Structure 1
């Protein structure tokens, strides 16, 4: 369906692709992987013809429709979320627009002399609209928006009033409603909560077309894809299987290549030693020449490309008291809406609470109350003896000084630390080489999150309060963070929509429901087994749609 034939593409001095080939077959679900800057978004733009390859060609079967969701959603305002979604439905949206124009024309007295022609055209257009399933279009648009977390009021309100994250969801809904023959999805789970991610999983599993997508959510990829195309050093390598299978196969291939490289290096060392030893002896001249020619003809084995991951090890956090945080009889509301009423909650030392709840259940509010960022209307919030708290929230990234570099930010935070230890810290969180000289104002959302987490975890608190710490992080940084936090000996209270993060790090779950808070002993896996669902909002989401 989509073929990349020996493509080459260069941006400035950076070579992205060199004689790269791959194919996406009809109905295949394919994950596109590669490090940041490898060319994933460029590959999408080559398919949509926004860019052309320097060499080779990208071919798409005749008649195939392609829908592309990217992080650049463009301007949206002046229409409802439903109308904006329906506008992206492909040919049917154009027919719907003509139908609406004809309805206005038929009601216009000034065009009475055209009535016969208008009625005839209206009949043709109406038949085409029905043929394309147009009369069920709004219902399908509302079903998709509901699955992505929209309330009825949000669907019918002006899309211009929505935040950037919700506009992203509208842009995604447009592509899903279009149901093209091939879908290109660039990080579709960014800005989605867990309920919406799980709904999207089910939608894509049932989608009959071809899918090519990127995602930093490993669990999401594993549940959908059956093939991986990897961008590696300008090449496109294909693997049959999910993301976990790809990682295993990649590790095996790297091990084989390393073994081949080591064997060849040992042989070369031996041959070069012989040449060096006997090159001055006339009696061995023929043998030396023979071996020199042999070495010239050998095809050199390259070592596997180093996938550098620097592990982060926590310093020992100071020990806190047994009771780390306590909420007693807490009431909290916004306007007429009560979030908590007479709420009691206790966090003990060594507990790792994952807070679950649908949108608006009060997850972030709970973390703000514990962190002292918000005060209860009634009741008391107390933090225990010897507790040193680290609070990560999305607004923390806005507190970075825009003119300072990454390096200056770390040095200012830890003036007594050695240059070596700070460089190691920067490397752990993905800042190596010249990247430490970047000013904070030019950092991406993911880079800012990494910098804030680096500052927080270098001199670790004994109580971590984390509100969506993996938002914007790539898969490698997420993996590093999970491994680091698995070795952390303090207490945690966190919200996350990443199921790997939830599974690996929780030993308690607090589910916030309209009926009240329900604590679960055991971590996220036990919560799923006991509750029968992966996220509490799924039941209401199912009812809504």
Structure 2
């Protein structure tokens, strides 16, 4: 359906693609992977025709419809969320618009002399609308929005009043409702809660078109894709299988290439030694000559290009007392909505609680209560002896100084640390080379999140309170963070929609549901095994 043939592409000074080729065939579900800045979004834009390759070509079969979801949703206002979603549903939305115009014309006295013509056209348009299942469209739009966790009220209210994250969901719903022949999804999992993520996973598994997507969520990718296209060093390499298979295959390929490289190096060293030893002897001149020619002809094996993954090791956190946080008889409500009503909760040293609950259940509220950024209406929240807390929330990114560079911000926060360890810290969190000289104000959401995380973990607290810490992190940084936190000696309380993160790091689960609060010994993996569902909003 889509063929990428020998494309080359340069962005300012960066070579993104060098004679790269790949294909997307009917029914394939492909994950596009590669480090940040490798050119994933550029590839999407070249497929949609928003950008052109410098050389080579991208061809799309005639009549193939493409739906493209990206992080830049543009302006939305003036329509309800459900109307906004229906407006993106391809041909049927155009037919619906013409029907509305004709309905207005039929009740316009100035158009009386054209009424027969209008009524005739209305009949044709209505028949076409029925053919496209226009009358079922609103129901389907509401179904998709419901899957993405919209309440009926949010569906019917002005889309302009929604936050950026919810507008993203509206933009995603438009593409899903359209059901094009090919979906290009750039980070669709970024702003979703766990319930929406699992719903989207099921939707995409049942979608019969072709799919090309990027995602920083390895579980999500594993369950959907049956092929991986990797961007590495300007090339596109295709692997059959899901993300886990690709990781294993890549490691195996690197191992084989390393062994080949070492064998060839040993052989070359032997030949060169022979040539050096006998080149001055006339009796061996012919042999030396033939070996020199042979060496010139040998195609050299390159050593595998190592992916730069940096490990980050915590300084040990100071030890806290055994009782880390105690909530007693806590009441909290917003307006008439009661979130907590006489809630008691105890967190002990080295426990790692993940909090599960549908939107609005009170997950972030609990983190804010513990962090002291909101007060209970009644009851007490107290921290134990020697507790030093680090709180990561989305608003923490607003505390960076826009006029400072990344390095200056780190120096400002740790004036006695010295440049070398701060540069090493920045490197672990993805700020290498010139990135460290970027001003904080120009950083993307993901870069800001990484910088805030780096600041928090350099001098580690013994209690980490984390609200969606992986939201903007790419797969490699997320993996580094999971490995670092696995060795962390302190206590954790966190909310995350990343199942890999939940499974690797939690050892307790607190589930907030409408019929009460449940505690589970054991982490997220045991919670799924015991409850039979991956999130509180899903049963069965």
TM class, shorter-length:
over 0.9
Residue of structure 1 in register with 2:111 after alignment: 111
Instruction: Give the SS at the match of 1:27.
Output: coil
How far apart are 1:107 and its partner, in Å? 1.0
Please give the alpha-carbon distance, in whole angstroms, between the structure 1 residues aligned to 2:510 and 2:325.
14
Instruction: Give the SS at the match of 2:488.
Output: coil
1:67 corresponds to 2:67: yes
How far apart are 1:282 and its partner, in Å? 3.7
How far apart are 1:438 and its partner, in Å? 1.5
Residue of structure 2 in register with 1:226 after alignment: 226
How far apart are 1:313 and its partner, in Å? 1.5
Q: How does 1:341-380 map to 2 (within 5 A)?
A: 341-380=341-380
Q: How does 1:240-279 map to 2 (within 5 A)?
A: 240-279=240-279
How far apart are 1:355 and its partner, in Å? 0.4
Please give the alpha-carbon distance, in whole angstroms, between the structure 2 residues aligned to 1:339 and 1:80.
28
Q: CA RMSD in A?
A: 1.3
Structure 2 unaligned regions, length at least 5: none
Instruction: Give the SS at the match of 1:153.
Output: helix
Instruction: Give the SS at the match of 1:538.
Output: coil
Q: Deviations over 1:75-118 (max 9, x none)?
A: 11111111110000000000000011111111111111111111
Q: How does 1:476-491 map to 2 (within 5 A)?
A: 476-491=476-491
How far apart are 1:61 and its partner, in Å? 1.5
Please give the alpha-carbon distance, in whole angstroms, between the structure 2 residues aligned to 1:118 and 1:421.
75
TM-score, with length taken from structure 2? 0.98
Instruction: Give the SS at the match of 1:125.
Output: helix
Residue of structure 2 in register with 1:390 after alignment: 390
Residue of structure 1 in register with 2:51 after alignment: 51
Moved more, 498-507 or 443-452: 443-452
Q: How does 1:78-157 map to 2 (within 5 A)?
A: 78-157=78-157
Please give the alpha-carbon distance, in whole angstroms, between the structure 2 residues aligned to 1:37 and 1:434.
14
How far apart are 1:196 and its partner, in Å? 0.5
How far apart are 1:269 and its partner, in Å? 2.1
Instruction: Give the SS at the match of 2:359.
Output: coil
How far apart are 1:317 and its partner, in Å? 1.3
How far apart are 1:401 and its partner, in Å? 0.9
Instruction: Give the SS at the match of 1:118.
Output: helix
Please give the alpha-carbon distance, in whole angstroms, between the structure 1 residues aligned to 2:267 and 2:447.
44
Instruction: Give the SS at the match of 1:189.
Output: coil
Moved more, 489-498 or 5-14: 5-14
Q: How does 1:320-339 map to 2 (within 5 A)?
A: 320-339=320-339
Residue of structure 2 in register with 1:238 after alignment: 238
Q: How does 1:3-18 map to 2 (within 5 A)?
A: 3-18=3-18
How far apart are 1:237 and its partner, in Å? 0.7
How far apart are 1:280 and its partner, in Å? 3.7
Please give the alpha-carbon distance, in whole angstroms, between the structure 2 residues aligned to 1:496 and 1:103.
48
Q: Deviations over 1:164-202 (max 9, x none)?
A: 111111100000000001100000011111111001001
Please give the alpha-carbon distance, in whole angstroms, between the structure 1 residues aligned to 2:427 and 2:76.
39
Residue of structure 1 in register with 2:461 after alignment: 461
Residue of structure 2 in register with 1:530 after alignment: 530
How far apart are 1:412 and its partner, in Å? 2.1
How far apart are 1:324 and its partner, in Å? 0.3
Please give the alpha-carbon distance, in whole angstroms, between the structure 2 residues aligned to 1:280 and 1:401.
69
Residue of structure 2 in register with 1:447 after alignment: 447
Please give the alpha-carbon distance, in whole angstroms, between the structure 2 residues aligned to 1:75 and 1:221.
29
How far apart are 1:433 and its partner, in Å? 1.9
Please give the alpha-carbon distance, in whole angstroms, between the structure 1 residues aligned to 2:11 and 2:443.
20
How far apart are 1:270 and its partner, in Å? 2.2
Please give the alpha-carbon distance, in whole angstroms, between the structure 2 residues aligned to 1:91 and 1:107.
25
Please give the alpha-carbon distance, in whole angstroms, between the structure 2 residues aligned to 1:399 and 1:490.
25
Instruction: Give the SS at the match of 2:4.
Output: strand
Please give the alpha-carbon distance, in whole angstroms, between the structure 1 residues aligned to 2:296 and 2:283.
22
Please give the alpha-carbon distance, in whole angstroms, between the structure 1 residues aligned to 2:490 and 2:11.
46
How far apart are 1:277 and its partner, in Å? 3.4
Structure 1 unaligned regions, length at least 5: none
Instruction: Give the SS at the match of 1:168.
Output: helix
Please give the alpha-carbon distance, in whole angstroms, between the structure 1 residues aligned to 2:17 and 2:77.
38
Q: Deviations over 1:403-422 (max 9, x none)?
A: 11111122222222243322
Instruction: Give the SS at the match of 2:460.
Output: coil
**Count of paired positions:** 540
How far apart are 1:348 and its partner, in Å? 0.6
Please give the alpha-carbon distance, in whole angstroms, between the structure 2 residues aligned to 1:54 and 1:27.
29
Instruction: Give the SS at the match of 2:422.
Output: helix
Please give the alpha-carbon distance, in whole angstroms, between the structure 2 residues aligned to 1:283 and 1:14.
53
Instruction: Give the SS at the match of 1:68.
Output: strand
Instruction: Give the SS at the match of 1:527.
Output: helix
Instruction: Give the SS at the match of 1:42.
Output: helix
Residue of structure 2 in register with 1:26 after alignment: 26
How far apart are 1:291 and its partner, in Å? 2.3
